[in-house]
Structure formats: structure tokens, C-alpha cells
Amino acid sequence: MIRNPVVAGQFYPSEPKILIHYLENYIKKMPKKSALGAIVPHAGYVYSGGVAGVVYGCLQLPDTFIVLGPNHSGMGKPFAVMDKGIWKTPLGEVSINENLAQIVLTESGLFTPDIMAHNYEHSIEVQLPFLQYLKSDFTFVPIVLSHTWYSNCEIMGNALAKAIQKFGKPTLIIASSDMTHYEPHETAKAKDNMAIEQILALDAAGLYETVHSKNITMCGIIPATVMLIATKSLGAKKAELVSYATSGDISGDYSQVVGYAGIIIK
């Protein structure tokens, strides 16, 4: 199965040379940090590429990734693992790690093999060019997660941790998420700070509750919650906010913005 890019030319350039130029500008050369997980935004590169570039620029990248994205289309299974095949971007092909995908599927019956949920979902696709620019060879497991109860997040997070332990090789979990959507700049920042505070405390339940009780429109709340549960189970001790911005910082329009946070879990 080949999954062709669906947002090249929309969220990021479809021409390889132009895409590389964008990535060169976004990815900052920084001291590398080992991490178990990360939260990275997934908007158009013009808006969130700078935040994403800071995250990827400071990470010591392993050879294997699990990338968790929300389901914007509503298509496919609720917790959809694409367990085999190749993803294409303008920078080339990336193979799915079939071994790790099968381990994930056996660790929890909530996860199901499904391609449909991935067909038009941009949140995972936009992460790949950053990884391709920085890593000449890597594999990954893409998982699209629909909204669900916290109890299911616990099951899936613990299952991912067990799967990574059984896999036995360093694996980074990337949760693809933007923050508050379409609110005034100061309101968005205030709401995002409440969510970020819970993430920095490694409090997955607190994050889930805060986002729902404060009406924070964080689209990747389930990927972020599952990632936090998994990384804490794997021994995470600290989270660090490495970058934050809103779309208003780019466009100059602060009346209705989207927030972007870059966070690493170590």
C-alpha cells in the first residue's frame, strides 16, 4: 500500500527544492536532547513551521517513530493503525515499521488496522518532511485517534508503552496537535497556558480534564493525552516547552488566531 501526499502544495511546498529551503529556515541548530515524546503542531508550514522546526531541531532523533494524529475527516476506524506500506512526500518514501505496528495491534484491541482514516488526514503527513530532512533513513507507525473517553486513552497509552518495550529499540512518540483555534490572541494564549501547564506537569488526566472543562479547542487532545500516558509509563520525568506562537504572530491578525506549542517529554 502506497499512501501518496494529500496536502503537498497546500500545507507545505510540493516542489522538493522549495520544501528543503523552507525546512532549512525553520529547523534551528540547537543542542540535541534525548526524548521519549513530543507535541508538534500541524498547520500550514507558513504558520506553524517555525514552532515545529524548533522542536525537531533540538531532538536527538532515533530510527523509529510512532506518530499520533487526530482524525479531522471523521473517516475510518476510531483508533486506526496503518500497519504496512509506504508513505510518499516530495522528499521521498518512508516505510511503515510493520514489526512495531503488529506489536501495537496485539497490545490492545482498541487499535485496529485501517487505511481509510489516513487517506485524507494531514496531521501525520506534515510531520514527515521534517524527519526526512533530518534523518536519511527511518521507519514509523502512523496512528489516527478519534475523540474518546480518558479511560480509553489510558488503555492505549499503556499499550504503546508496552509495545515500545517489547520492540526493544529507541522510539519517539510524536503527538501532532495544534492548540486553541480561532479565538482572540490573548484569550488563546491564556487558554493554551492552562493546557501547557498540565503537560509540563506530565499530568495526562489533568490535561484531558482542563481541555474539556475550559473549552480549549486543542484538536490533538487525544494524541497528546495518549502520548503523555505512554511516556510517563516509559519513565518520563520532565516536559519542556521549547516554542510557542500563534498564527497572529505570523499574519499580524490577532483577532482570530490558532495557537501552536512545541513541547518535548524526556
Segment 65-105, tens digit of pLDDT: 999 999 999 999 999 999 999 999 999 999 999 999 999 99
The amino acid present at 53, given as its one-letter code, is G
Place of cell 501532532: 176
Farthest CA pair distance, the chain: 48
Per-residue confidence at 28, pLDDT binned at 50, 70, 90? confident
The amino acid present at 215, given as its one-letter code, is N
pLDDT at 21: 98
For each of the domains in the chain, give its residue range(s) and CATH number, in order of start. Answer: 2-265 (3.40.830.10)
Per-residue confidence at 147, pLDDT binned at 50, 70, 90? very high
Q: Per this entry, what is the length of the chain?
A: 266
pLDDT at 97: 99
Other C-beta atoms within 10 Å of 70: how many?
A: 24
Question: In whole angstroms, what is the distance from residue 224 CA to residue 211 CA?
Answer: 11
Closest CA to 241 of 197, 207, 178: 197
Place of cell 485524507: 120
Place of cell 507535541: 39
pLDDT at 110: 99
**pLDDT reading at 264 higher than 90:** yes
Residue 221: strand, helix, or coil: helix
Q: Are 30 and 59 in contact (CB under 8 A)?
A: no
Question: In whole angstroms, what is the distance from residue 56 CA to residue 29 CA?
Answer: 9
pLDDT tens-digit readout, 103-139: 999 999 999 999 999 999 999 999 999 999 999 899 9
Q: Strands 239-246 and 112-113, how do they pair? A: unpaired
Segment 160-185 mean pLDDT = 99
**pLDDT reading at 55 higher than 90:** yes
Name the average pLDDT for the chain: 98
Q: Are 64 and 170 in contact (CB under 8 A)?
A: yes
Per-residue confidence at 218, pLDDT binned at 50, 70, 90? very high
Q: Count of alpha carbons within 13 Å of 96, Cβ hemisphere only?
A: 25
β-sheet bridge partners, residue 261: 244
Q: Are 139 and 63 in contact (CB under 8 A)?
A: yes
DSSP state of 15: S
Q: Are 106 and 139 in contact (CB under 8 A)?
A: no
Q: Nearest 5°: phi and psi at 94?
A: -130, 130
CA dihedral 35, 167, 68, 200 (to 10 degrees): -30
DSSP state of 33: B
Question: In whole angstroms, what is the distance from residue 178 CA to residue 123 CA?
Answer: 9
